[in-house]
Amino acid sequence: MEYLFYTLAAVALISGALVVFQTHPLRSALWLIVNFFAVAGLYLLAHAEFIAAIQIIVYAGAIMVLFLFVIMLLNLRQPEEELARPRLGLKIAGITLAVISAVLLGMGFAKVVIKPVTEMPVGLGNTESVARLLFTDYLLPFEVTSVLLLVAIVGSVVLAKAKLR
């Protein structure tokens, strides 16, 4: 089963790199879908079946459709953005900064010793256990989430309406 993890991790990393270094946003979006599917596979490996299904439905389905829709709405006739820009120094500085902070964080993570729980509870990660926790301990955040979604709906409708006054 380990090689499955390595394969999915490689797919996720390669498609993630392709998202960043594509010139056209449409291709980035398509590679991002591949990335989401690989991450969903990793969720499955970690016994999070419900979250994996939600990942595919919400991320790879709804969010990416929204992205593709907006890209095709806006960007059809724009010239492709070229990667070789005069501000190459700034880009190299950005990449270096990100990589250095990642290496430092990774050195911290490598020192972390986590004693994993070995006994397997019944039905970890299936819809029933997630729902039981969601509607008991996390009921208030769940209801607040619905308010957040309402705000997002109203906000996006107002913002995308005819004229921004």
Partner 1 sequence: MVVPVNYYLGLSLALFTLGAIGVLIRRNILIILMCIEMMLNAVNLAFIGFADAFKAVDGQIFVFFVMTVAAAEVAVGLALVIAIYRNRATVYVDDLNILKW
The reply on whether position 72 binds partner 1 by CB under 8 A is no
Q: Which of 117, 101, 126 lies closest to 43, judged by CA?
A: 126
State which of positions 31-50 bind partner 1 (CB under 8 A).
Answer: 32, 35-36, 39, 42-43, 45-48, 50
State which of positions 128-147 bind partner 1 (CB under 8 A).
Answer: 129-130, 133-134, 137-138, 141, 145
**Interface with partner 1 (CB under 8 A), residue from 11, 16, 34, 53:** 16
The reply on whether position 63 binds partner 1 by CB under 8 A is yes
Q: In this structure, what is the dihedral angle of CA atoms 54, 12, 43, 103, given to the nearest 10 degrees? A: -120
**10 Å Cβ neighbour count for 39?**
21
The reply on whether position 53 binds partner 1 by CB under 8 A is no
Task: Decide: 136 and 129 in contact? Cβ < 8 Å.
Answer: no
161 token code pair: 């309406």
Shortest Å distance, C-beta 70 to partner 1? 5
